Amino acid sequence: MDLVCDLLARLMAHMRDMGATVVTPALREEDEDMPLLPFADAENFNAGYVMRSQHLLFRRGNREPWIHLLELEQEQEILPKADLNDGTLAYR
């Protein structure tokens, strides 16, 4: 939980510094040809309730930062270093 709180605090401070009140994910130009994949990979995470609701869940891509890791250890390493200005977030 601290990881999420720290990331949100960093994001909110960044938004404040930019004068932004809204942030949304945005594809970079180099990501526009990326295939959209289902939220969960059936070979990695195939809980029935997730498989049945795939059509309702957000999609993922096939490369960073658009993949969904489902591994706490990886997220603990990656999220604190996330670049908030890499073009994957649109601020307004």
What pairs with residue 89 in β-bridges?
A: 25
The model's pTM: 0.77
- Measured CA to CA, the distance from residue 81 to residue 63 in angstroms comes to 17
Q: Tens of pLDDT along 21-36? A: 999 999 999 999 999 9
What pLDDT is attached to residue 86?
95
Concatenated DSSP letters for the chain?
A: -HHHHHHHHHHHHHHHHHT-S-EEE---GGGTTPPPB-SS-TTT---HHHHHTGGGSPPB-SSTTS-----HHHHHHHGGG--TTSSSEEE-
For the chain, the average pLDDT equals: 90
Residue 52 has pLDDT above 70, yes or no: yes
Q: Tens of pLDDT along 4-17? A: 888 899 999 999 99
